[in-house]
Amino acid sequence: MNSIKSVPARVLSRRGGHSLEAEREQFDKSQAISISKAINTQEAPVKEKHARRIILGTHHEKGAFTFWSYAIGLPLPSSAILSWKFCHVLHKVLRDGHPNVLQDCQRYRSNIRETGDLWGHLHDRYGQLVNIYTRLLLTKISFHIKHPEFPPGLEVSDEVLEKTAGTDVNNIFQLTVELFDYLDWELKLSESVFRQLNTSMAISQMSAVQCRLAPLIQVIQDCSHLYHYAVKLMFKLHSCLPADTLQGHRDRFHEQFRSLKNFFKKASDMLYFKRLIQIPRLPESPPNFLRASALAEHVKPVVVIPEEAPEDEEPENLIEISTASTTEPQVTSDIFEQTFGPPNGIRDDRDAQIESLKKEVDMLHAEMEKIKLEAQRYITQLKAQVNSLEGEVEEQRKQKQKALVDNEQLRDELERLQRVKQDSDRSQRLCAEAEKKANATEIRYTKLKEKHSELINTHAELLRKNADTAKQLTVTQQSQEEVARVKEQLAFQVEQVKREAEMKLEDQSVQMEQLRQELDARRDELDQAQRLLSQAKQAGVELNAQVEALHAEKEVLRRSVSEKECELLSTRGLIEEKELQLNQEADKATREICELQGRLLEKSNQEQSLQQKLLDEQFGILQETVREAEGILRDAVAKLDDPLHVRCTSSPDYLLSRAQAALESTDALENGHAQYVASMADAAGLVGALALFAHLTADTIVNGSATSHLAPTDHADRLMETCRDCGQRSLDYLGKLKDKKTLGHAELGDVRQALRGVLQLAQELRPKSLDIKQEELGDMVEKEMASTSEAIEDAVRRIEEMMSQARNESSGVKLEVNERILNSCTDLMKAIRLLVMTSTNLQKEIVESGRGAATTQEFYAKNSRWTEGLISASKAVGWGATQLVESADRVVLHTGKYEELIVCSHEIAASTAQLVAASKVKAEKSSRNLGRLQECSRNVNEMAANVVASTKSGQEQIEEKDTMDFSGMSLIKLKKEEMETQVKVLELEKRLEGERVRLGELRKQHYALAGGYDAVEDGEAKPAPAPRRGILKKPPLAQKPGHGEPERDPGSYPPHGANF
């Protein structure tokens, strides 16, 4: 092994004269060599000595600037193993490097994220590990930036942990959640590594397996500290919060404990880890956080890294310098001897001149190479610094603008919420008091109503009893009058009988006198007279018997009359008592009724006051809403003159939808206004409609201003003035709502007129669509999908014909290559055909679920932009399939290029991605057809990748490469060939740059035709968004760094909303 002593004296003398710049150059070169040896594509673990030199370099320069200046030039997207080893080295640098490394890594978060996202989308075993590892590194950087008390090595004392957690239970809770998230990514990385490996004892000694296992040493170190801190914080949380509240934390900790214990057990069983790290043992069961004394039983897991014998380190920098300085003249000398023969021992002046010239050439060559390296390094560093500073400045500017907007929005939102909260609290209190009073009044009113009903029933019952008693009295009086009448009739009959008897007696006495006078004359009539007399006596006896019977009946009637009179007297007493009682109850009921009437009058007064209060509150709520609406509209109008709003843009279609919604909201506002004017006790409809109107009108004004930024000058000025006029007329209308006198006369005619003006200008600014009638769009979609399916089937048929023709006309390697390429093309066509069928089913599902009562053509016409996107995507898929078949035909016939197949495969993948994106726009997330479509899209990408892979392998298999044997060339010839090669390289670079510029212009024109550019009146176009800054690759020495045009996702669509 060479040492510093073996360096030539002239090198040491030159080193002694070096300045700080030379030392810096030496340091940069050493770091570049260490980084290139540590991060390479070999599937072997990173050597510790190279990682240690990189870490020492960060402590030497107090940061990771040099590391990142070389790291961003690594071709990470080209190799998953290279990305995996980069993540491993970055993890070690974060843990053991200088503290300022964390801030440097924070500036390159986007590079780390892009690397992980790139490999996460590819089906590569290392790629999946790289995706998880980058997420772990991003989580680590975010955690330590947020909590600077924790160093990246995670070694802090318990006192620092207690101080960081503090006494606020919310901070402890949040810190515990962040530690759990941190530990989750560590465990997820270990589980992914073990899932890809067979954990047998023999496999762990293979270099390919050790390449995957090496980063787990840092994961074990991190996990031991994170587990200890999580246990401490969990015990502290359980001392502050109830156990039920922390049930989710305990479940998550138990799951992490099981995963960590399994990870430690698997790692300790592997021979690879046994000589590199001493893994701690975890307890059999997790700590019992419900028992506070269990904290004393917790033992902190300690990871021990055994001290290794220092590896033999080769001073690469010195050896390379000495080797370059000593061996290069030797090689030159050998070539010279081979060319001109060995010297004959006689040295003339020409030999001395040749030798001196050779030395000068060598020195100049070395100096030129040195200057080139230094210039290239400085250019790379300066470019990296400029890019990073530009990125930081742009990010800071965006963050500042976003912070200003967010601060203003949060302030307005806070004020609004405070006002709403105060109004809500006041309204709730008033409503509660009014509800309590209303409930009490309702209870009293219910009791009075029940008492009043009871009195009415009692009064009615007494009236019925009085009526019955009066009726009985009337019946008694009638019977008494009838008895008197009978008595008078009997007396009259008795008098009549007496008069008849007297008259008969007189007649009898006359007859007796006549008989006496005629006694002598009429003896014969004496017997007759005696008989008549006896008859008269018998009649008198009968009359006396009748008189006696009448007397007896009279006595009976007299007794009955006396009884009736007694009953009548008793009834009259009862009636008088009842009347007295009724009078008393009536007086009492009258007094109670008077009291109830007074209370009812008082309640009606209270209800009137509450009604008036309710009206005032409703009017107050309306005024608050009006003021809030005025604030929203004034803020929107203010944005018309806000310079910060100039960067915001919007599309005429989105402005058209907002203006239409605002115009429709005026109808609801007018109905709510009419309802409120009719009944001012309910302002809910007007308040809701007013809030909706304010928001939609403000949204229309803001989007109108954003749309004017991309519109021609004339249209932009008219649109700005129309939006300002719309805002002013809306404010005038709201001003009328603030006064009760003008509230009933407020009209929305001027506001509607202004909104119609905005709507008309938005309609004028809309880009012209396809020259297809709206009713023909539905048929157009079905025709395009059918033609696409036919084109794919025709492509499959043509590929089969080409395969049979290739089998007949070729053999050997060419036949094998052609069959592999055509088979991959056939698989791709089948995958595309399945995707088109699935897309057709999904579109039918979207139409059936979204058209309602409308027809399919009406649905497509209503969603014309979406329909046109489907038509465009379908055409692109069919055209791509046709081009792929034609390219494959030319390749099989050896008249085309393999690159055409690769480009066609990429174009088909992009077209199918556009078709999938257009189909997903209106699909539901839970749709089964959507899931099948996404699966078919992934299958198409895999088949396209297979076509590219088979094409590249076939190209490499068929094309013959030169062996590049330069052994027979002289020095002058080699120099000449080198210069010619450099000239060709520069020509090709210039041509490549010109082709890239042409490709960019072609894509700009394609985006302009597809609607990506909004043409302005003076002929200029709005530039496409700046390309996403990816990982920059360091250019070679003899090569200029080229800047290609940005590529755009073929499935993307121009935004329809304001870009804030």
Residues with Cβ within 8 Å of residue 898, at least 6 apart in sequence: 891, 951, 952, 954, 955
Which tokens is 1042 given? 């080229």
> What is the mean pLDDT of each successive set of 10 residues along the chain, which is 1060 residues long?
35 47 83 87 87 88 87 86 90 89 88 86 81 91 89 84 83 88 90 73 68 89 89 86 85 89 86 83 85 80 69 39 38 40 52 78 80 77 76 74 74 77 74 72 73 74 74 72 72 74 73 66 64 75 78 80 80 82 84 85 82 81 88 89 80 85 89 84 83 91 87 85 91 87 84 89 70 53 71 75 72 74 81 80 75 61 68 75 77 74 81 78 77 84 83 72 61 79 86 85 70 36 34 32 36 35
Q: Rounded to whole angstroms, how far apart are CA atoms 76 and 90?
A: 13
Q: What are phi and psi of 1044, to 5 degrees?
A: -80, 165
Residue 324's contacts (CB-CB under 8 Å, 6 or more residues apart) are: 366
For the stretch 676-732, pLDDT in tens is 888 877 788 888 888 999 999 999 999 988 888 888 888 888 888 999 999 999 999
Q: Is the dihedral of CA 693, 699, 702, 703 positive or negative?
A: negative
Taking alpha carbons only, the member of 1012, 972, 984 closest to residue 339 is 972
Mapped onto helix, strand or coil, the DSSP state of residue 278 is strand
Cβ neighbours of residue 197 closer than 8 Å, sequence gap 6 or more: 203, 209, 212, 213
Dist. CA 231–CA 242, nearest whole Å: 17
C-alpha neighbours within 13 Å on the C-beta side of residue 731: 17
Residue-wise pLDDT tens digits, 339-374: 344 444 444 577 777 877 878 788 887 877 778 777
Residue type at 218 in one-letter notation: Q
Cβ atoms < 10 Å from Cβ of 262: 15
- Residue-level length of the chain: 1060
**What pLDDT is stored for residue 960 in this prediction?**
54
Distance CA 387, CA 1033 (A): 13
* Cα–Cα–Cα angle for 223, 225, 229, rounded to 5 degrees: 115
- Asked if residues 111 and 1031 have their Cβ atoms less than 8 Å apart, the reply is yes
Question: Angle CA(902)–CA(904)–CA(910) in degrees, nearest 5?
Answer: 105
Structure tokens at 814: 């060419």
Provide the 8-state DSSP code for 517: H
Alpha carbons 770 and 785: distance in angstroms, whole number: 17
End-to-end CA distance of the chain: 63
Residue 763: the pLDDT is 84
Structure tokens at 402: 């976003």
Question: How many CB atoms sit inside 10 A of residue 403's CB?
Answer: 11
Report d(CA 891, CA 820) in Å as an integer: 12
CB atoms closer than 10 angstroms to residue 372 = 12
If you write DSSP's letter for every residue of 344-369 in order, what string do you get? -S---HHHHHHHHHHHHHHHHHHHHH
Strand, coil or helix: 1021: strand
CA 694/CA 700 separation, integer angstroms: 10
Degrees, nearest 5: CA angle 988-992-997? 150
**Distance between CA atoms of 63 and 99, rounded to whole angstroms?**
7
pLDDT number for residue 458: 76
Tokens of 709: 């930024």
| Cβ proximity of 215 and 91 under 8 Å | yes
Query: Where does residue 43 rank: exposed (0-12), middle (13-18), buried (19+ CB within 10 A)?
Result: middle
According to DSSP, the residues that pair with 1015 across neighbouring strands are: 1021
- CA 152/CA 543 separation, integer angstroms: 151
d(CA 966, CA 951): 31
Residue with tokens 């006549």: 514
Q: Side chain identity at 997, as an amino acid letter?
A: V
CA separation for the pair 769, 1010 (Å, rounded): 10
Buried-state track 723-759, b at ≥16 Cβ within 10 A, e below 16: bbbbbebbeebbeebeeeeebeebebeebbebbebbb
705, 733 in Cβ contact below 8 A? no
- Please identify which residue in the block is written with the tokens 């219910």: 446
Distance CA 761, CA 714 (A): 11
